Amino acid sequence: MLVLVAPGQGAQTPGFLTPWLDLPGVEDRLRSWSDAIRLDLVHYGTNADADEIRDTAIAQPLLVAAGLVSAAALGDIVPGAVAGHSVGEFTAAAFAGVLDDTDAVRLVRKRGLAMAEAAAITETGMSALLGGDPAVSIAHLEKLGLTPANINGAGQIVAAGTLEQLAALNEDKPEGVRKVVALKVAGAFHTHHMRPAVDKLAEAAKELVPADPKVSYVSNKDGRAVATGDEIVERLVGQVANPVRWDLCMETFQELGVTALLEVCPGGTLTGLAKRALPGVKTLALKTPDDLDAARELIAEHSA
């Protein structure tokens, strides 16, 4: 059984969309979405530098657009389940038919703007903890006033909070943690710092008429497969200020009988987690169009 997944913020790198523009129709789709959200996705995916695409309001629609065009390049596929990490949940909602592609890009643009505004209130950020016991790490983070914003499984937890709190974490790592790595994000996402963004996203979501998912949609909130479009959109709104439980998502993949996991562009992060947490499951990350043939082979072997 194949699971199709979409990465979250921080996966972007300068120029990562450049090779995808050589595929028929990709630039036209990107320019159409750019017009819809008044943001030049082609420029930001090709010529912008790392600081420009670190901006939350730019990174989020850019990542969703990248996921959608890379998945479309695979042709018609019917995975056994879909999921996304944080903003990748919007990409997954489009994969599942809950939102059409343009609505997904429009909504995530509003999400990014609202979260950027919330992040500007207080200087905050996120850092990944590599290694250690999750229970020990979570207790230590709470002692420092930090939130375990992403519990990713495979020994990885992401802490979020003020820059001062994160500096204290660098000086006082939890027992067993090998390394603390600052992430390329501009705020403490999935924490109480993002509550001002929730109301704005909820208002924007009222304009949508979501469909029920055509395939199993696995939610970050609790790893549960969600059956209705209305509930998926409700969870998309709430997850801005709620922790990401990717560990529970991977547990659900196992329960569903996953045999292969395919991560859309800019892939790598989620396949890395799956390699450690889902032994025996084949993984593939779409980084450039050069990966498409291998991806199609994986799909043919593992699709129902």
Who contacts 38 (Cβ-Cβ below 8 Å, separation ≥6)? Answer: none
Among candidate residues 140, 190, 193, 302, the one labeled active-site is: 190
Q: Of 182, 202, 233, which residue sits at a domain end?
A: 182
Identify the DSSP state of 25: T
Strand partners, 159: 127, 148
- My answer on whether 76 and 7 are in the same domain is yes
Residue type, 76: D
Residues 72 and 198 in one domain: yes
Bridge-based pairing state of the strands 2-6 and 177-182: unpaired
Q: What confidence score (pLDDT) does residue 183 get?
A: 85
Q: Give the β-pairing of 156-162 and 147-153.
A: antiparallel
Give the domain CATH number at 236.
3.40.366.10
Q: 108 and 238 share a domain?
A: yes
What torsion, rounded to 10 degrees, do the Cα atoms 180, 183, 188, 189 define?
A: -120
Answer yes or no: 190 catalytic: yes
- The pLDDT value given to residue 31: 98
Which of 141, 159, 182 terminates a domain? The answer is 182
133/251 Cα distance (integer angstroms): 18
Based on the fold, state whether residues 7 and 141 are members of the same structural domain: no
Q: What was the pLDDT predicted at 304?
A: 60
Write down the catalytic residue from 34, 70, 85, 86.
86
Classified as helix, coil or strand, 144 is coil
User: With contact defined as beta carbons under 8 Å apart, do 258 and 80 qualify?
Assistant: yes
Residue 95, CA distances (Å) to 75, 155, 156, 208 in order: 12, 28, 26, 16
pLDDT of amino acid 275: 95
- Interior CA angle at 205 toward 102 and 108, to 5°? 45
In 10 A of CB 154, how many CB atoms?
A: 15
Same domain, 173 and 154: yes
The residue among 149, 145, 138 whose CA lies nearest residue 187 is 149
**43 and 83 part of one domain:** yes
Full residue range of the structural domain in which residue 161 is found: 121-182
Residues 199 and 253 in one domain: yes
Quote the number of domains for the chain. Answer: 2
Q: CA–CA separation, 33 vs 90, rounded Å?
A: 15
Same domain, 279 and 268: yes
Identify whether 193 is a catalytic site residue: no
Q: Are strands 124-131 and 156-162 parallel, antiparallel or unpaired?
A: antiparallel
Cα dist. 141→93, 155, 157, 183, 302 in Å? Answer: 31, 15, 10, 16, 40
Low-confidence residues in the chain, pLDDT < 70:
304
Is residue 295 domain-shared with residue 201, that is, in the same domain?
yes
Angle, to 10 degrees, between the axis of helix 101-121 and the axis of helix 195-205? Answer: 160
Domain of residue 155, CATH code: 3.30.70.250
Domain boundary among 182, 200, 218: 182
Of 120, 111, 118, the residue nearest 37 (C-alpha): 111
The C-alpha atoms of residue 196 and residue 115 are separated, in whole angstroms, by 8
The confidence score (pLDDT) of residue 57 equals 93
Whether residues 95 and 200 share a domain: the answer is yes
266 and 228 share one domain? yes
Residues 79 and 207 in one domain: yes
The strand order across the sheet containing 124-131 reads: 147-153, 156-162, 124-131, 177-182
> 72 in helix, strand or coil?
helix
Which run of H or of E encompasses 283?
strand 282-285
